[in-house]
Amino acid sequence: MSRADIVRAYLKAIEARRDPLGFFTEDGVQEEFPNALVANGARRTVDDLRAASARGQNVLTSETYEIVSLAEVGDLVACEVLWRGVLAVGLRSLKPGDTMRARIAVFFEFQGDKIRRQRNYDCFDPF
Protein backbone atom coordinates (compact mmCIF):
# COMPACT_ATOMS: atom_id res chain seq x y z
CA MET A 1 0.00 0.00 0.00
CA SER A 2 1.43 3.39 -0.99
CA ARG A 3 1.55 6.26 1.47
CA ALA A 4 -1.06 8.03 -0.65
CA ASP A 5 -3.32 4.99 -0.18
CA ILE A 6 -2.69 5.15 3.58
CA VAL A 7 -3.78 8.81 3.62
CA ARG A 8 -6.94 7.90 1.69
CA ALA A 9 -7.68 5.08 4.16
CA TYR A 10 -7.02 7.42 7.11
CA LEU A 11 -9.50 10.01 5.83
CA LYS A 12 -12.08 7.29 5.12
CA ALA A 13 -11.66 6.01 8.70
CA ILE A 14 -12.46 9.50 10.02
CA GLU A 15 -15.53 9.71 7.77
CA ALA A 16 -16.71 6.29 8.99
CA ARG A 17 -16.12 7.38 12.61
CA ARG A 18 -13.63 4.60 13.16
CA ASP A 19 -10.59 5.25 15.32
CA PRO A 20 -8.01 6.74 12.92
CA LEU A 21 -5.18 6.90 15.45
CA GLY A 22 -3.77 3.52 14.47
CA PHE A 23 -2.45 5.32 11.38
CA PHE A 24 -0.01 7.32 13.57
CA THR A 25 3.32 6.46 15.14
CA GLU A 26 3.26 6.42 18.95
CA ASP A 27 4.99 9.81 19.00
CA GLY A 28 2.84 11.22 16.18
CA VAL A 29 1.92 14.90 16.20
CA GLN A 30 -0.77 16.88 14.43
CA GLU A 31 -0.36 20.62 14.02
CA GLU A 32 -3.29 22.83 13.12
CA PHE A 33 -2.28 26.30 12.08
CA PRO A 34 -4.43 29.34 13.06
CA ASN A 35 -7.87 29.41 11.46
CA ALA A 36 -11.46 30.54 12.10
CA LEU A 37 -12.03 27.82 14.72
CA VAL A 38 -8.62 27.64 16.39
CA ALA A 39 -7.36 31.22 16.48
CA ASN A 40 -3.96 30.36 17.95
CA GLY A 41 -3.54 27.04 16.22
CA ALA A 42 -2.86 23.80 18.09
CA ARG A 43 -0.26 21.09 18.48
CA ARG A 44 -1.72 17.70 19.40
CA THR A 45 -0.13 14.42 20.41
CA VAL A 46 -1.89 11.13 19.68
CA ASP A 47 -3.51 11.29 23.15
CA ASP A 48 -4.69 14.85 22.44
CA LEU A 49 -6.11 13.69 19.10
CA ARG A 50 -8.01 10.89 20.84
CA ALA A 51 -9.69 13.43 23.16
CA ALA A 52 -10.38 15.86 20.28
CA SER A 53 -11.92 13.05 18.24
CA ALA A 54 -14.30 12.18 21.09
CA ARG A 55 -15.36 15.84 21.40
CA GLY A 56 -15.86 16.10 17.64
CA GLN A 57 -18.32 13.20 17.71
CA ASN A 58 -20.66 15.47 19.73
CA VAL A 59 -20.24 18.51 17.45
CA LEU A 60 -20.68 16.85 14.04
CA THR A 61 -23.19 14.29 12.86
CA SER A 62 -21.00 13.48 9.86
CA GLU A 63 -18.01 14.74 7.90
CA THR A 64 -16.52 14.06 4.49
CA TYR A 65 -13.08 14.58 3.00
CA GLU A 66 -13.01 15.02 -0.77
CA ILE A 67 -9.45 14.88 -2.06
CA VAL A 68 -9.03 17.54 -4.75
CA SER A 69 -5.35 16.87 -5.38
CA LEU A 70 -2.69 14.66 -3.86
CA ALA A 71 1.05 14.28 -4.32
CA GLU A 72 3.42 11.75 -2.79
CA VAL A 73 7.14 12.49 -2.68
CA GLY A 74 9.33 10.25 -0.54
CA ASP A 75 8.11 10.35 3.06
CA LEU A 76 5.68 13.22 2.37
CA VAL A 77 2.09 13.19 1.13
CA ALA A 78 0.49 16.57 0.41
CA CYS A 79 -3.15 17.00 -0.42
CA GLU A 80 -5.81 19.58 -0.97
CA VAL A 81 -9.08 18.53 0.59
CA LEU A 82 -12.61 19.85 0.47
CA TRP A 83 -14.01 19.16 3.95
CA ARG A 84 -17.71 19.19 4.81
CA GLY A 85 -19.10 18.71 8.29
CA VAL A 86 -22.77 18.51 9.24
CA LEU A 87 -23.28 20.18 12.60
CA ALA A 88 -25.01 18.49 15.53
CA VAL A 89 -24.95 21.80 17.42
CA GLY A 90 -25.22 25.46 16.48
CA LEU A 91 -22.01 27.36 15.80
CA ARG A 92 -22.04 31.12 15.28
CA SER A 93 -24.46 31.73 12.38
CA LEU A 94 -24.93 28.01 11.65
CA LYS A 95 -27.71 25.86 13.09
CA PRO A 96 -27.77 22.13 13.85
CA GLY A 97 -28.05 20.32 10.53
CA ASP A 98 -26.18 23.03 8.60
CA THR A 99 -23.02 22.09 6.72
CA MET A 100 -19.68 23.75 7.39
CA ARG A 101 -17.13 23.77 4.58
CA ALA A 102 -13.40 24.25 4.45
CA ARG A 103 -10.56 23.94 1.98
CA ILE A 104 -7.68 22.24 3.70
CA ALA A 105 -4.06 21.86 2.71
CA VAL A 106 -2.71 18.96 4.73
CA PHE A 107 0.79 17.54 4.77
CA PHE A 108 1.59 14.10 6.14
CA GLU A 109 5.14 13.06 7.04
CA PHE A 110 5.61 9.31 7.30
CA GLN A 111 7.90 7.03 9.24
CA GLY A 112 7.58 3.69 7.52
CA ASP A 113 3.88 3.10 6.94
CA LYS A 114 2.71 5.34 9.82
CA ILE A 115 1.99 9.08 9.99
CA ARG A 116 4.57 10.78 12.20
CA ARG A 117 3.49 14.36 11.62
CA GLN A 118 0.37 15.96 10.14
CA ARG A 119 0.16 19.69 9.39
CA ASN A 120 -3.22 21.27 8.62
CA TYR A 121 -3.88 24.64 7.02
CA ASP A 122 -7.67 25.01 7.25
CA CYS A 123 -9.55 27.74 5.38
CA PHE A 124 -13.22 27.74 6.42
CA ASP A 125 -16.05 29.26 4.45
CA PRO A 126 -17.56 32.17 6.42
CA PHE A 127 -19.89 31.10 9.21
pTM recorded for the entire structure: 0.94
3-124 adopts what CATH topology? Nuclear Transport Factor 2; Chain: A, (3.10.450)
Task: Name the pLDDT band for 52 (thresholds 50, 70, 90).
Answer: confident
Other CB atoms within a 10 A radius of the CB of residue 12 amount to 13
Report residue 80's pLDDT band, with 50, 70 and 90 as the boundaries.
Answer: very high
pLDDT surpasses 80 at 39: yes
What pLDDT score was predicted for residue 51?
84
Grouping H, G, I as helix, E, B as strand and the rest as coil, residue 52 is helix
pLDDT at 2: 97
The per-residue pLDDT of the chain, averaged, comes to 95
Q: pLDDT confidence of 55, banded at 50, 70, 90?
A: confident
- 56 confidence band (pLDDT: 50, 70, 90): confident
In which band, very low, low, confident or very high, does the pLDDT at 60 lie, cut at 50, 70 and 90? very high
Q: Are strands 24-32 and 114-124 parallel, antiparallel or unpaired?
A: parallel
* Contacts by 49-52, CB closer than 8 A, 24 or more apart: 49/21, 49/24, 50/21
